[in-house]
Structure 1
Amino acid sequence: MRITSFSDVSLRLLMVLCAASGEELPTTRELAETVGTPYNHVSKAALKLRQMGLIEAIRGRGGGVRITLAGRNATVGGVLRVLDDHSDVAACETAAGECPLAHGCGLRGALNQAREAFYASLDDVSLDSLSKKPQGGPVSVTLSTRPAN
């Protein structure tokens, strides 16, 4: 299965925001640079994510974007169900119009079931669990003059 580029950008934004500290408020321009995507795409994704209640925008000087509690708890499967366009997995038509097998064909239904199984397999994956958070505190290091085995 493939996800749309819009869904991909949206998931990357959510992961970056999950990893950010609570004090950080990156702007959409900074987020666009971070995820390596044009600003226009990121701003459209941010608008949709805000409408979904997964992020919030803080206006004014020092403002930016941050993830909401709902965004942290959201699952990849749940987000994709909303963001993906739900067009048929297979293009069931020919240049002349509808596929001549459409009335007796079960492929479209089987492919739609497969898409739902794909989403269902991601229902247990929270966005917060995917983000790599910066580790604070001391890092355990072992130095030795002996060569490694």
Structure 2
Amino acid sequence: MTTINLFLLVTALASGLIAGLFYSYSCSVNPGLGTLSDAGYLAAMQSINRAILNPVFFFSFMGTFLLLPLSTYQHFGTGSRFYLLLAAAVVYAIGTFGVTMLGNVPLNEALDKINLSNSSAQELTAHRLRFEVSWNRLHAIRTYASIISFVLVLLACLTAFDKN
């Protein structure tokens, strides 16, 4: 296996991991959290948002953001592989990374500042309403984008290397 193919394989792994994380969150965590009381939901989201900031998450999330353009560059001039990777990089950069950094992260940071133990039931309901719908909508966008990006990387892996 050549170095360029090994690098593409690592790119595929990282993008698959992040797509799987967001997908599984959409199918299990969000529906489960949605059944909790306002206080339970907000406390759980605060806890999850703090716990996800770890090296394993950063490998797949930041790693994919860095690996996709590097893989794309390595495949410049290879025809369809290059264009598939370019599309994957753009979709990921805008739809996954951009949406997360400009949408989900600010919502997470605002949620983290809320002192749940000093909030009334009405305040908890208001906090949840400001957070949940927007966060889930943004999460859906980044989930679709990460899956599309991953599929494009897989297609690039399956495309014959055509160095022109």
Same fold (TM over 0.5): no
More strand by share: 1
Taking structure 1 as the reference length, the TM-score comes to 0.28
> Of the two, which has the highest radius of gyration?
1
Taking structure 2 as the reference length, the TM-score comes to 0.27
